[in-house]
Amino acid sequence: MKPLRLPPNQLHRFYRGGERIAELRSVPHEDDHAPEDWVGSVTTTFGSDEEGLSRLEDGRVLAQVVAAEAANFLGPVLAESRGADPALLVKLLDAGERLPVHFHPGRAFARERLGSPYGKSEAWVVIAAEGDEPAVYLGLRDPVDAETLARWVERQATSDLLEALNRVPVTVGDTFFVPAGLLHAIGEGLLIVELQEPSDLSVLLEWEGFELDGPAEGHLGLGFDSALSAADIDRLSPDRLDALRGGSEAEGAGVERLFPREADSFFRAQRLCPAPSATLGAEFSIVVVLDGEGRLSTREGDMTLDRGDTILVPWAAGAVSIEGELEALRCLPPEAGVR
C-alpha cells in the first residue's frame, strides 16, 4: 500500500483566516473565513454528517477508503481496538484574528453528556508567527469560581476573560499541549499545526464580533449551565505551564519527539529534519511538509515532497525513509492499544 498525497480541505468557519494556509499550500486564497484545513480527516464538524471529511485526489471519501481496509491503514493492533477510527485529527489553523476564549470538554464529560467517545485535548506546533507581539492565551492566572465565569460569559466581559488568562508570547517552533477543559485562545497572526482528538466540541466563552450566534451555538446544545461545568477553573501554575510547553527530545538522526509524555494517550508528533535521511518504522501517520523539498521512500516506491504537501502514510506501507533539505512534522495517533 502506497502513501497518499492529500489535497487541501479548507473549511469555512466563523473566524477570519486562511491566507497563510493558501500560501503554504500554493493554492488560491478564495475565502477569508477558511482558517482550518482538516488534513486526512475522517471526522465531521459538530452537527454535520459530511462537512470536514477529507477526499483523496481521485475524489473518494477518505473515511470510506479507510473503513474498507482498516487493518492495512491503521495496523492490526490499532484497527482491533479502534475499528476504522485513527483516533486523530490533524489541522492547519491560520488565525487571521484572535480566536475567542473557549475550551473543550474532556472524554468523561463527552461520553456522559454528548454520546461521544472523545473529548478534545489538543496540541499546537507554531509554524508561522506574524505581527508585533504574537501570543497565545492559556489557562487561568488565578482560580475563579463558577459563578464568576458564568457572569463573564453572560455579560460578554471579554477584557475580564483575557485578563484572567496567561498571555504567552510565542515564536516559530514553539509547541503546546492543551488538555481538555483548559481555557485558551490563539492570537492573531499564528499559523499552527494542530493535533487533537477527533471531535469538534468547543464551548465558547465569547462571541461578540464573530460570525455566529453564541447564545444558541456556543454550548454544544447543552445550555451554558451544563457546558461550563466542564471548564477547568483552577489556576494554571507557572510550573504546569512550562510542562505543557515541554517534552522535546531526540529520537534518532533527524527525528525529534514533541509534546510531553502525558499527550501520548491522545496523539504523538515528531519533527523531521533529515540529516541527510531519517528512517521511520511502519505506522499510520500524517506528514506535513513545512519547508524545503525531498523524497519519501517505501518498499512500494518513492514520492517527491515539497513545502505544503500533506501525506497520509498507511501502516501497510511499511518502514519509511525521508531525505532531503526539508522540515516536516509526522503526526501520529495514540500508541496502539491505548484508550
Summarize the confidence of residues 111-129 as an average pLDDT.
Answer: 98
**Residues 296 and 195 occupy one common structural domain:** no
What's the pLDDT score for residue 339? 55
Kindly indicate the confidence band of residue 335, based on its pLDDT and cuts at 50, 70 and 90.
Answer: confident
**Residues 268 and 155 occupy one common structural domain:** no
What's the pLDDT score for residue 338? 55
**Residues 183 and 128 occupy one common structural domain:** yes
Q: What are the φ/ψ torsions at residue 224 (nearest 5 degrees)?
A: -70, -30
**Residues 191 and 302 occupy one common structural domain:** no
337: in domain:
no
Query: Would you say residue 315 has pLDDT above 60?
Result: yes
Q: Where a domain ends, among 193, 213, 245?
A: 245
Ordered DSSP codes for 259-294: S-GGGGGT-EEEEE--SSEEEE-S--EEEEEEEEEE
Summarize the confidence of residues 43-49 as an average pLDDT.
Answer: 97
**Residues 270 and 152 occupy one common structural domain:** no
Residue 176 is part of which domain span?
A: 4-245
Contact 42, 66 (CB under 8 A): yes
Per-residue pLDDT tens over the stretch 182-198:
999 999 999 999 999 99
Summarize the confidence of residues 307-311 as an average pLDDT.
Answer: 98
**Residues 210 and 156 occupy one common structural domain:** yes
Summarize the confidence of residues 266-274 as an average pLDDT.
Answer: 96
Summarize the confidence of residues 99-119 as an average pLDDT.
Answer: 98
Is the backbone peptide bond immediately before 274 cis, with ω within 30 degrees of 0?
no
What's the pLDDT score for residue 256? 96
Summarize the confidence of residues 256-282 as an average pLDDT.
Answer: 95
311: in domain:
yes
**Residues 241 and 277 occupy one common structural domain:** no
Kindly indicate the confidence band of residue 16, based on its pLDDT and cuts at 50, 70 and 90.
Answer: very high
Sheet containing 184-186: give its strands across: 165-169, 135-140, 184-186, 102-103, 203-204
Query: Would you say residue 283 has pLDDT above 90?
Result: yes
pTM surpassing 0.85? yes
* Sign of the alpha-carbon torsion through 195, 199, 205, 207: positive
- Residue 175: name the closest of 124, 129, 128 by CA: 124
**Residues 146 and 8 occupy one common structural domain:** yes
- Residue 271: name the closest of 137, 172, 187, 131 by CA: 172
**Residues 277 and 226 occupy one common structural domain:** no
**Residues 81 and 160 occupy one common structural domain:** yes
Q: Considering its fold, how many domains does the chain have in total?
A: 2
With residue 301 as reference, give the H or E element that holds it. Answer: strand 301-306
Q: Where a domain ends, among 206, 223, 245?
A: 245
Residue 262 sits in a domain of what CATH number? 2.60.120.10
Summarize the confidence of residues 86-99 as an average pLDDT.
Answer: 98
Query: Would you say residue 246 has pLDDT above 90?
Result: no
State how far the alpha carbon of 258 is from the alpha carbons of 69, 91, 176, 209, 331, in Å.
29, 16, 9, 35, 10
Query: Would you say residue 270 has pLDDT above 70?
Result: yes
Query: Alpha-carbon distance 339 to 331, whole Å?
Result: 17
What's the pLDDT score for residue 248? 83
Kindly indicate the confidence band of residue 139, based on its pLDDT and cuts at 50, 70 and 90.
Answer: very high
338: in domain:
no
